[in-house]
Amino acid sequence: SQKIEQNSEALNIQEGKTATLTCNYTNYSPAYLQWYRQDPGRGPVFLLLIRENEKEKRKERLKVTFDTTLKQSLFHITASQPADSATYLCALGYSSASKIIFGSGTRLSIRP
């Protein structure tokens, strides 16, 4: 079965720096990959989706890359702010509107 690994359970960085989170998967590549943000006591909030034929996607201070050869996605937050502190989840989808498979998440803390 598919296994998803997110680089670390927790990542602490200084405000203003770029946060880089990693999502690695085994076996077959997904049709698309999504990144979600989750705050304590809340549901996941969709951030970005990247398809298998796309290399990079950007949205404001967020950037995601997708390398199907390495079986890896990188998620970057530039000019990080304390308000970016949250758990970030990557999720893989294999067909349109199908179930998605989540990684365990990385808890990001941005210190002032």
Partner 1 sequence: EAGVTQFPSHSVIEKGQTVTLRCDPISGHDNLYWYRRVMGKEIKFLLHFVKESKQDESGMPNNRFLAERTGGTYSTLKVQPAELEDSGVYFCASCSSGTGGADTQYFGPGTRLTVL
Structure tokens at 85: 């502190």
Residue 49 is a binding residue for partner 1 (CB under 8 A)? yes
Minimum CB separation of residue 89 from partner 1 in Å reads 7
Collapsing DSSP to helix, strand or coil, 69 comes out as coil
**Among 2, 18, 45, 67, interactor with partner 1 by CB under 8 A:** 45
Which residue, 17 or 99, is less far from partner 1 as judged by CB?
Answer: 99
**Among 11, 13, 62, 100, interactor with partner 1 by CB under 8 A:** 100
Which residue, 5 or 15, is less far from partner 1 as judged by CB?
Answer: 5
As a whole number of Å, the end-to-end CA separation of the chain is: 40
* Cβ atoms 93, 102 nearer than 8 A: no
* Cβ atoms 107, 10 nearer than 8 A: yes
Residue 36 is a binding residue for partner 1 (CB under 8 A)? yes
Residue 102 is a binding residue for partner 1 (CB under 8 A)? yes
**Window of 14-22, 59-67, 74-82, 94-102 that interacts with partner 1 by CB under 8 A:** 94-102
Structure tokens at 104: 């365990």
- Report how far residue 15's alpha carbon sits from residue 58's, in angstroms, rounded to the nearest whole number: 20
Residue 13 is a binding residue for partner 1 (CB under 8 A)? no
* Cβ atoms 47, 32 nearer than 8 A: no
